[in-house]
Structure 1
Amino acid sequence: MVHVVGRAGAPRDSLTGRKRLVAQAAILATVVGATGVFALSHKSVTIDLDGEVRTVSAYGSTVGDLLAFQKIDVKDGDLVEPSASSSASDGGTIVVRTSREVSLELDGEPQTFVTTASTVGELVSALGPRAEGARTSVSRSQSLGREQIRVSTLKTVHVAVDGGIVSATTAEASVQAVLDHAGIVLSEGDAVSVPLGAAAVDGMLVLVTRAAQGAATVTESLPFATEEVKDPYLPQGQRNVRTSGRVGEAITTYEIQTVGGAEVSRTVLERTVVREPRTEVVVVGTLDPSTIKVDPGSSKAIAKSLAAQRGWGDDQFACLDLLWMKESRWNATAENRSSGAYGIPQALPGSKMASAGADWRTNPATQITWGLGYIENRYGTPCGAWGHSQSKGWY
């Protein structure tokens, strides 16, 4: 009996031991696996939240996970780069620009926008092609605040004067400024159909009625012609005024016939052109921005991301690509030996870029950051800088 029990008990103990080992191994594998997943989800990232930059530790597999771990709430309208659904990478940088409601006066009309812009320049750029060449009441580099901002966009204003129609394309804000821009001089007693201080609006018609003159010899404005030129190096939707139009001036002597003291006809006896009109040349872009190739991880990719953070889309990046391809072919060590200009943006001198980082000599991101700031402060947008470069040969 004892022998039989001993034989039956030995296998039972052995089976129990094996089960215990299997269970322990499973638990160990689970712990090791969980530890591995936990380690993989841990990231050290740099978060740029509305210009406040800090490096943090966070856990998650996506950009959205990391932001949620840091209790950064992303709402509709906010800008996140890379996108919240993108895979998070250790050592990466996440840029978040929170949206807010901003009021401004656009071509004389109060407007309210929801925007992620932090400066006046970024806000104007977000208006799209219509804002190219726009004028602002404050510096574009100024941070958005409580101050009222007035923006005047590129527009065409028609002026009926001296028997002709002058169509001026300009970003001038008021009717008076448009007349000055076009070279139309008002004399004492002349009447204008709208107040001179009124906001200039695209497509508006201004009628100038000259005061009655007793003399048969008068000075008159000569309308200028407008020419549109297609430009394959300017993105579709972009329009630049290459040459602003200006009216000419002529001294005309008339033979005037009156009936009962009222003028019934006048005939030109002599006309002397004092100043020839200057034709207005408007450049219209035809470049498709989708044709610009950007390799992941390249300097162009960095620039496209940083430009997007300023509210500049594909059309503006197309201008930036053309500009810096011309300047340096996107070479971070490009140097102009005659002038000393250096780097991707060809800063002159190159040491100016030290304001963006001590590694300005070799780091494309530092050079691009400085270059985009320079473009915004001086020209407003990359297309503004590219237009200047095309007309002047430099920017």
Structure 2
Amino acid sequence: MNKAITATALSAALLAGGVSTAASLYKDVQLSVDGQVLEADGFALTVADVLAAKGITLTASDEVSPSVDAAVASGQTVTVRYGKQLTLNVDGTPRSFLTHAATLDEALATDAVTSQATQLAATSPRVSLLGARTSIPLDATLPRSGATVDVVTPKHVELVVGGHSTDLVTTAATVAGLLNEQDLTVGPSDRLDPLTTTAVTDDQKITLDRVVVSKKTRTETVPFEVVSKNNASLWKGESRITTAGKDGKARRTYEITVVNGKVSKKVVVAQTVITKATDQVLEVGTKTSANGVGINLARAAMWDRIARCESGGNWHINTGNGYYGGLQFNMAAWNSNGGRDFAARADLASRAQQITVANRYYAKAGTSPWTCA
């Protein structure tokens, strides 16, 4: 029924019925359009008359109650809900549907949106529109032409700042948004992983290390170095210092990197020598031969037996107790019986050389110096 037909019908009724009919055709009606209540008093036979009087044209997707051809009576309310195409970009995934809701929050509460959320949850069990952030206010009126709304659902993330971890739920779309939400700033030396432009995802770990780089200058001791030189006149194992070492001094500038309160790197970036260190010269013996001194293996079996008792038969033992070699010579006994013909200490000499020195000692004192004899 269009406006022209309705107007003709009203005119015919007025001409036929006169004043009394006109009074009966005047209706006190309220019109609710997407929740907005309008006064729609006037001459009307049907709902179509009420709508035509307000210039409202319906489309196939709109809803009206009662129906357009239903008769109207005074005190009645006619409700119109425009059909709108609503697209929700949920975490970047678009979902479109028809809604007759007047506002966004009303649309989010409809079965259509619940169905969309259920589909999303099938692939991402934690997806929920409850507590989500939207690009327009929840109480915003949806235009008849439809709307596209960005929706960011709550995400569970681990935020580690300065080494301290916090589990939280956020509706920030990016890492930058999360940091802003938590009132956090990234310093010039700080380290952020991932980058600020990274989209926030569920179960994500975001790390912000606090980094401080500073420089410090101080005067330090420079230890002397030891330079070794071989000396063939000294037995192997002997050494002597010919030049004493002396520490030096230097002024050093360090670049110190502190990550989350702990020093992670310390590098010398500048150095000025104040006093140069003096190397210590150490002569090290290399003599290992007997230099023509004869070997005396008399009583070898006896010395082997004594060695087994004294040292377990280990001819090169040195336990640090002041006794050396298989026959456990102390330094005085070794030196006084010509041990230095062979080595600086008994443990540095061979079995044959130790037996030779033992035979020299035996000629003076027999086996009395050995408790195991």
Report the TM-score range of the alignment, normalised by the length of the smaller protein. Answer: 0.3 to 0.5
Relative contact order (C-alpha < 8 Å, sep 6+): which is higher? 1
Question: TM-score under structure 2 normalisation?
Answer: 0.34
Larger CA Rg, structure 1 vs 2: 2
Higher helix share: 1
